[in-house]
Amino acid sequence: MNNALNQLQPYPFEKLRKLLGAVTPAADKRPIALSIGEPKHRSPSFVAEALSANLDQMAVYPTTLGIPALREAIGKWCERRFNVPAGWIDPARHVLPVNGTREALFAFTQTVVERSDDGLVISPNPFYQIYEGAALLAGATPHYLPCLDSNGFNPDFDAVSAETWKRCQILFLCSPGNPTGALVPMDTLKKLIALADEHDFVIAADECYSELYFDEQSPPPGLLSACAELGRSDFKRCVVFHSLSKRSNLPGLRSGFVAGDADILKAFLLYRTYHGCAMPVQTQLASIAAWNDEVHVRANRALYREKFDAVLAILAPVLDVQRPDGSFYLWPKVPMDDALFCQQLFEQQHVTVVPGSYLSREVDGVNPGAGRVRMALVAPLAECVEAAERIRDFLSQR
């Protein structure tokens, strides 16, 4: 067996099940889960129609590179969304369809990491656990940058030593962040690109929450936006990951893409050809319909805005909590140990949230998620409101 498997830590939800399994929830309250970040809004009907209209494509072997029409639709979306000049993105070289960002983030790391004794994969802390597992199984060492309130829940990249940057092979970004919802500012993205050039590492920007934001007039920038402003038409050392899961409420479609540096994607395509992970043609055709439409995405954001407004009105008077820059998470500070908070809230109010310490790693005696919890506002509005009211009651009874 691959002995690197022994380095993998339990997934946060395994730890959460064990924590909650030690208590019995209130029998008079129905369960409300704010734990798993699984979108619950209705999937677009026109995507389902496109999928069902092309079921005959199940008789066709898909190619790893994907059909040209999908790569072209993705390229045009990137141009519109991130102000990339027309013609910069060659769909045949700069775009690769993937079966969701989770699979792609893991496989990408196996492609890029050059096994060595001192190679680092740097990520924010707290973080999406795939970054860590992918690094370990690729033979690299994870290196965690704390995301603290004092720095707007972004890593303090200025505090990273030149020696650490020199050992870095991949820098993972997540913007808006999971679980903090923080955006990486444009100036920071440009600074990181300069560091990548200086120290020869790859920036892997996980932007699967990029379409969940609050101001329709100010879409948040992404790594491609920074490349465009820098005139970096080759997207050198820059790769972005996007998905239809959150943007379009299509987590079960398992459809996303990777875009950026053509040389890196050429190697990634080779890896994926052996990996055997081509997207079914009928899924690709349905994905085209989703990437070509923004009406349903704006409606999706409106639903989240409504939930954030309602929940924050209830929780802000009793809890240290702020509206994030984006995503569908709240990241409040709680007045007790975060795991105990989650356990007692489940026991007394039958509401499930995730301890922040389960989403982070302790470094130098500090766990940046400790004392916080993650709440995913994915349930229907009425359930989110009821959950907020129960949390308020729980706090008032302490």
pLDDT tens digit sequence for 123-163: 999 999 999 999 999 999 999 999 999 999 999 999 999 99
Give residue 204's Cα distance to chain centre: 12
- CA gap 139, 85 in Å, rounded: 38
How many CB atoms are closer than 10 A to CB 175? Answer: 27
**Run of H or E including 204:** strand 202-206
* 258 neighbors 66 (Cβ within 8 angstroms): no
In this prediction, residue 398 has a pLDDT band, given cuts at 50, 70 and 90, of confident
User: Of 276 and 270, which is predicted with more confidence?
Assistant: 270
Pair of tokens at residue 232: 């970096």
The fraction of the chain above a pLDDT of 70, given in percent, is 100
Is pLDDT of 191 > 90? yes
| Burial of 219 (C-beta count, 10 Å sphere; 0-12/13-18/19+) | middle
Q: Average pLDDT, whole number, for the chain?
A: 97
SS3 content of the chain, % helix, strand, coil (to 5): 45, 15, 40
Kindly state the average pLDDT of the residues 217-221. 96
Q: Give me the pLDDT at residue 116, please.
A: 78
Tokens of 268: 């990634």
Enclosing H/E stretch for 46? helix 45-52
Cross-strand partners of 299: none
DSSP H helices, 91-168, are: 91-94, 101-112, 129-137, 162-167
The mean pLDDT value for 335-347 works out to: 98
Distance CA 46, CA 108 (A): 31
How far is residue 33's CA from residue 17's CA, in Å, rounded to a whole number?
Answer: 12
In the chain the domains, ranked by start, together with CATH numbers, are 3-42+296-396 (3.90.1150.10), 46-292 (3.40.640.10)
Is a pLDDT exceeding 80 seen at residue 5? yes
Alpha-carbon dihedral sign for residues 286, 287, 290, 292: negative
The reported pLDDT for the residue numbered 4 is 87
Contacts of 10 (CB under 8 A, 6+ apart): none
For residue range 23-82, list pLDDT tens digits in order: 999 999 999 999 999 999 999 999 999 999 999 999 999 999 999 999 999 999 999 999
Q: What per-residue confidence (pLDDT) applies to 348? A: 97
Q: Taking 90 as the threshold, does the pLDDT of residue 105 lie above it?
A: yes
> What's 200's DSSP letter?
T
pLDDT at position 117 over 80:
no
Q: What is the mean pLDDT of residues 172-184?
A: 97
